[in-house]
Each structure stands twice: as C-alpha cells, then as structure tokens.
Amino acid sequence: MKFNQHSNTHGQHAFTAFNPLIPEGLVLRSRRNMLKASLAGIAGLSVPNLLRASDQLKSVGKSSLPKKSVILLWMTGGPSHIDTWDPKPDRPIQNRGPFGVTETSVPGITICDRLPKQAAMMDRFTLIRSVDPKFSSHQPNQVMQTANLLAAPRTNRKGDKYPAIASIVAKHHGPNDPSMPPYVAFMKHHSHIAWGGYLGKEYDPFIANDAANLPVYDLVGKDTGKMSGGKMFQLASGLSSERMKSRRDLMQQFDKLRSDIDQAGSMTALDSYSQQAYEMVLGQKVQHAFDLNQESATMRDRYGKHLWCQQALLARRLVEAGSAFVTLDLSYHTASGTWDNHGDNVPPYGGIKNGLGPILPLFDHLLTTLVQDLEERGLLDEVLVIAMGEFGRTPVSGTQGSTDGRNHWPVVMSMCMAGGGLNHGQVIGASEKDGANIKHRPVRPGDLAATIYKYMGVPLDTHYVDDKGRPIPVIENGAPIHELF
C-alpha cells in the first residue's frame, strides 16, 4: 500500500495541492478556482516543480557558480562488478563468471572483454572498485542517489524524504541557463530514481519521457516499433498560444487579489513561477533541446537508434542547453531493473551470460559515444559522466537455480567516471581477490556526493531541514575523492 501511495505522490505536479476543481468560499469562489485551474493547467503543460530555484540562486550569487553539469547513467538493478569493471580472471569459473578480460589503453588495467570500446579509451575514465553500497537496495533505489544511508524506504518509513544529490544541485547550483530545468530524468519507473524529498516538490526531477519523440521498448527490451510522440510541448486541442497568453494575463490580474484570497501565503511566489512556466511551454529553448531533429542524421546514426542511446544524445543536448543534472534510467523493466541479473530462470533479467551479456556491448557503445561526443564539442571538462547502479553482485554465481546468475551484494561495487576536468586514467581502490569485500580505499556514498558537490560548487557544509525543522547536512561521513582532483 505504501508503494502505491508513493507512486501517486510523484505522479502529481507542483500545483496539485491547490485542488483546482474543489469549490471554495462564496464571493470569490469562481475567481479563485479559475486561478487555481489555470495554474494547474499551465503546470501540467510545462515543467513542473522546479521553478523556484532560479530566484533563490540569484539572491546568493548564482552567477559565480561554475557552469558545469552531471550526467548519471543509472544502471538500474545493480550491475555485477566482477563481470564489468573488476574482473577476476584467475579465479574458478563460479567466481570469475563466463566472460573474459581485455587489456585497456592504460597499462595494468583490465576490464571485461564485453567493453572493448571503453578499454580503448581508458585514459578518459576512472574506475572505482571499492565503493561501499551498505544499506543500498532497489525499488526504490535511494541510498546511492541520495548519499544518505537512511534513504531506504523499505526499512525506513521516511526513507523517501531524503533528497537526491541531483535535487541538492538543483537547489544550490541551479540550471546553467535559467530557461532550462536544473534536474532532468528519463524514468522507466518512479522507484528507480531519487526525488526532492524534504526540499519540496519543486526540486523533483523534470520527467522527460514525453518531451521527445523516442522509440518505445517493452519490458524485456524489444523495440515495439512505436514512438512516444513527444507530446509534452503540444498544446491541448483548442488551446492556442494566444489563448495561453490570455490565460496568463488573466492570472496576472488575479494576482492583485491574492492577499484577500489566500492569507496563508501559499501563493506568494506563483506570479514569477507561473510566468516561467508559461515561457517554458511556449518558449523555444527547452523545446529545441528536446528536438532530436536538430541533430544531423550522421550524429543520430552515430549514437544509434536504441532508446538508451537516443536518451544519451538528449542528455548531451540538455547539458549543452543549460540543465545541470541529467539522469538516465537504463532499464526496460518497471520493477527492480534490467541489470538485476539473478538467473536464467528469472525473466526478464536472465543470468550473467544471457541477461547481462547482451546489454554490455550496448552500454559500451552508449558510454563511449557520449564521452567522445562531449570531448569533440569541448564540453567534456564541463560535464561529469557517472555510471553506476545500486550495489554489486554475489561473488559466487549460480543463484536461484541458474547456471551463472548473481544475487544482490550490498558489500562492494564498482563504478566509473569520465570528464569534469578531473584526473582520469586510473583505478581507485580494490576488492578482495574473489570480489567479495573491499580490500582497501573504501569509497562511501557520502564521498561520491561530496565529490559531486565540490565539482558543482555546492558548499559541503550545506544542510536542509526535515519535517520537524531539524537540520540535516548534505554530507554525512564523506569527503571529496581526492584522487580525482
């Protein structure tokens, strides 16, 4: 039941609470509800929840913050560290798994042989083989995306209240262009990403699934041949831009009545934010960023027609246009995620060979194409690319009656980074010889968050308040990963 309530909460927009269809009062009833309906309609047609950030950041000198951004490739389900970036080729097959290894362009670093493109570009990447995912779970996937060990809704009833790292960035850094949403996510299911939580719904991600014309894949990764349509920026039937302008003018007239209509102050900021909402519906900046037809056929073919690859191209376009944080939910399935490779008899995930095997070359292409494209455009030093999931997989395979499936392993995991003008071509930390535990240099969720905040210019002593007004630091038990700086 909690799961459904959580789903409904995030299905709403920032103005849902104004109950636009509920009559109130006697004298001003129709005016108030017309105003609320107008606001709710504009919010539904435009970017929800994220419009307060710009004004707040202006007041603290946002212009001094670096114009940098993050793209998070979220490998939903928890990729096997042993079968990707931390291979164990000298171990028995039950431990090392079905894949081989390949040497990389950096002497001494080997990775899975299903990632040859990344191997050839290893000087642009950093591998972290000692990430500590303690308490991290999935569905919801919250701990690694919030850097808070209490962000586990399955065991903590307030676990979904801890804000995403991306939401902190949205509030304290904001977009690099005020007409763009700061935090954008392509989402297969609401439980796959983290939200604004205690910060408020205005720092929830802008869910971009319907903002672009993208191929539609089914739950097992089959292209249905359909397209999503990119309907978000299409005005409803009968609602022209002129009618939108008239609606905006009417709202501005009603603003004069606000003090009489709502003494509680819940509408005090709506004038400027609804103006931004209007501009984002009818303005060109956001729509242009989501329009893949603006890319040459050569570039679109270079990324490829696969859904994830097209989303990666959109991620580049979004950070180029001014968004600060873009998350790609790399999953076909709405449940625990496509990278949750328990076993051959657990559809649709499969085991390592049949489940993970087919998506590694796809991921290899997506990751390296994105990094190369950013580099060629002179953007790689300004965009930090992070690829990771929520935990590793068991060192001994064969779980759940399979030949080579691996179960959840919130003990050690691997991740990779590129770009951001940071130090790359290295491996940080190590796991034990069988990949079961961290051997040295543990990297905690707090360390990852501190690294992102330092990179984005967010003060590490920043805090937010919970529902009781108590301050919570954005960094708990963490420090920037010094090898990167």
Burial label, 348 (beta-carbon count in 10 A; 0-12, 13-18, 19+): middle
Residues with pLDDT less than 70, the chain? 1-64, 234-283
Task: Round to whole Å and give the CA distance between 196 and 39.
Answer: 21
Q: What is the pLDDT of residues 173-194, one digit of tens each?
A: 999 999 999 999 999 999 999 9
Task: Round to whole Å and give the CA distance between 332 and 222.
Answer: 9
**Is 67-230+290-484 a domain of CATH 3.40.720?**
yes
Task: Round to whole Å and give the CA distance between 212 and 222.
Answer: 19
Q: What is the pLDDT of residue 66?
A: 80
Residue 77, token pair as written in the block = 């389900």
Q: What is the pLDDT of residue 275?
A: 53
Residue with tokens 């804000």: 163
Residue 196: closest CA among 401, 55, 14? 14
Q: What is the pLDDT of residue 348?
A: 73
Q: What is the pLDDT of residue 246?
A: 52
pTM: 0.82
Task: Round to whole Å and give the CA distance between 472 and 379.
Answer: 34
Task: Round to whole Å and give the CA distance between 402 and 73.
Answer: 28
Task: Round to whole Å and give the CA distance between 323 and 83.
Answer: 33
Q: What is the pLDDT of residue 363?
A: 98
Residue 178, token pair as written in the block = 């005020």
Task: Round to whole Å and give the CA distance between 343 and 341.
Answer: 6
Q: What is the pLDDT of residue 41?
A: 41
Task: Round to whole Å and give the CA distance between 273 and 213.
Answer: 27
Domain ranges of the chain: 1-45+240-284, 67-230+290-484
Q: What is the pLDDT of residue 346?
A: 75
Residue 75: closest CA among 349, 279, 291? 349
Q: What is the pLDDT of residue 259?
A: 46
Q: What is the pLDDT of residue 234?
A: 66
463 has which bridge partners?
A: 473
Q: What is the pLDDT of residue 277?
A: 55
**Sequence-ordered list of residues with C-beta below 8 angstroms from that of 53, at least 6 positions apart, any chain:** 170, 171, 174, 175, 182, 202, 203
